[in-house]
Structure 1
Amino acid sequence: MKYILRQSALTLLSFAFLYVLLAGASFLVFPDPSSAGPRDFQAAERTLYMTVPKYVFLGRSVLADPDRKIILVGASNTGVGFRQKLVQSKLGCANVSNLAMGGANISEVKQVINLVHEVQTDRERQQNTFVIGIWFGMFVDSDVHFSDGDRHRGETDVDIERYRYGFYRRTPDGPVAVLPPQWLDAGVMAIRPFLLIEKVAREARAGVNLLLTGRVSAQRTDDERESVVMSDADKQKALAYWKESMGRTNDISPAQVDVLKQTIQALLSSGENVVLVDLPIPAWHRDASPYEPSYRLALKDLLREFGDQPNFLSPNMADLDNDVDYSDEVHAKRHLADVWSIRLANTLDSFVCRQKPDNAPRVTTLRSSELMTNEPQRVSTVAGN
């Protein structure tokens, strides 16, 4: 009996030693970043967190600070189109973080906003400016959009990260926190050895892919995106893909429109700023898509509902729709992303950095001909070179 106890104790000590060793190695290879300041969550591959959803979920405590914060949320075209470092370089009054998540629908955008709020105090929330990038492809119901066989139907990438390490538990009424948000950093500290093991495994797979295919990942590089020209066949495949993916014949989901309305209203009511960006797509896709008309009507309704509120703005980017500036049906090439970023920075500079309570900027529509008001329109412009 004593022998068994002694062996059990030695085994536990061995596991404890290995755990401490891996934890120490994780800090040596991936030092813990500063707990405050701007953060580009699109750089997840270069961190211990590996993917954007994991990085957003586990690294969001950086946004719990009393400084002004500009927080970009949306899908992959927001993540690719707005260069965090470029936007930040033009703004001295606020920390810019890009939390856009590839494949996000409006419901997942709301989840990301809620995750940020979980780690913030009421005072910290009032320093937020949420830049919400939207386009028609995000208005698809979760049960349709998140229906892969390896997940519970309707569960987003955020939900998967909630359950992965036991921080939340699944219930019939939705996810319930096991670890209170104020203990998030302690929880992340506890799982660093496991994150390191996952990172090593991921890098090993990338090495095998490099040997077999000559590529580390299926994702295009910026240089590859710059040289892409879509053929007519590519365009037809893209239109067929979105017709299948949207789960509807010719209109966007009204339920997702309602989610966006509720989200914007909640942010404005809590004193936070909202910049709603109707992200341009190439003209060929916009003009050929059956979903664009219903999306345009929903956007008009949103601007009518919120356009007179001083902490709401919708900047003009409708002119950035040249087909050759996009690598596919939705993603801006690097040179256009620079234009997007500078234009957004100029808008934020006047809306956030120079804003005065008695002279707040008015809403700017993306297509002024679609929404007539008695208020003067303010259009944000930047040189396109």
Structure 2
Amino acid sequence: MMLLRNLISALIVLGVSVVAEQQGYDDAAQADDAVQAYDDAAQANDDAQQAYYYDNIDYSGAFSAGDDTIQYWTDYAILPKRCIVYNNVDVIVFSVHEQYYKQCQDNPIGTYITPVPNFLQGYLQYYMQIQEDKGYDDYELPEVADYAYCTRVEIQNQELYLQIGCSDESPNSIAVNIYEDNTCTKRSTSIDGYDDANIDVSEIQVSLPFKHCQSCVMWVDKNDDEIDDMFYENRKQNAPLCSTAWNFKQECDRKCRRSGLESKTKDGWNTPDKVLLAILAVFGFGMLIAILQKRQNMSNKDALLEQAAMTAAGLQQVHVIGIFFLIIIVITVFALLQLKNITWALLLIMNTTLFGYLMKLTVDSGVSAGETVIGPDGTIIRHADSDDSSVESVTQTPRNNAGTYMLPTIS
């Protein structure tokens, strides 16, 4: 009986210990599952954030891959124009051209925008591809290239984020900007009131092709023995810069095209311009003096004909003089306003008119000088300035003129 009791007690103790051990295993398994679930959630969050940069940078779905896919990029070119903030998103304005050999002088397929991070990531891949083709296998991008992605930093005990975007100084430059959120969409001015991190981006900025036509596919001479048959095919299809910008593009409308345009500054008159202006002015003034002298020597007949022509046109001499001085005043005003094109045009028109009128007076004076009529015996019958009352009629036979035969008078 005693033996049976001890056996039952041992079985009870053993069962309790087994149950306790199993419970411990179950608790540990549950803890491991919780840790794994946390890791999975964190990984999913990271994947979601990374997908955000590539697929939907502005939360609106505007910058997403389109259906108009281009398979071969060999003949295409891209022209990055400027960096602007459009709808609170830092974007690159660019145009795509179908014929690279025209150096982007032909009409583009269209003008588009794409987020700066996407454009820069594509450009850095494009640049790395070129370095690899040149044989620089150990080439590494500068450290500032890391800010092509939204990067967490700690500045003055504040948790902030940095990413490359548009510069506040010029639409043709980029800068590392400070953001408050981990998606780098909300600018932060908590550091000295500026959103610029003052990080040197010159190593990227120098090679970034703003306002330079860039071939989508850059060919580098390589030994055919070093490459496989798929090298050229891959290069035609794998154009990181153009394909990335194209896949995340959005149409740039009229408002977008006006954004970030640099105001055109008036160049003013440089030294060659001033010299040419002086030459044309002196030339015009000289022709004016010559015209006045020609008019003083103008015959009465020519003066009357000119006066009749002006009267037929409804003008008086005072009107012509007034119009001439008005044109001079207008040219002077345009010159002071530094409106070069219209100043040159008016000045050339005025000088051409003066030159034409001077030539007319010169020709007319020559014709008038040749209007003197001389008789067969050498006697001047009429001058150019003679009128009908002053015409000398020679009706009598000259007397005492040697060599003249006179008929006898028959009575």
**TM-score w.r.t. length of structure 1:** 0.20
Higher normalized helix content (fraction of residues): 1
Structure with greater Cα Rg: 2
Higher normalized strand content (fraction of residues): 2
Larger relative contact order (CA 8 Å, sep ≥ 6): 1
**TM-score w.r.t. length of structure 2:** 0.19
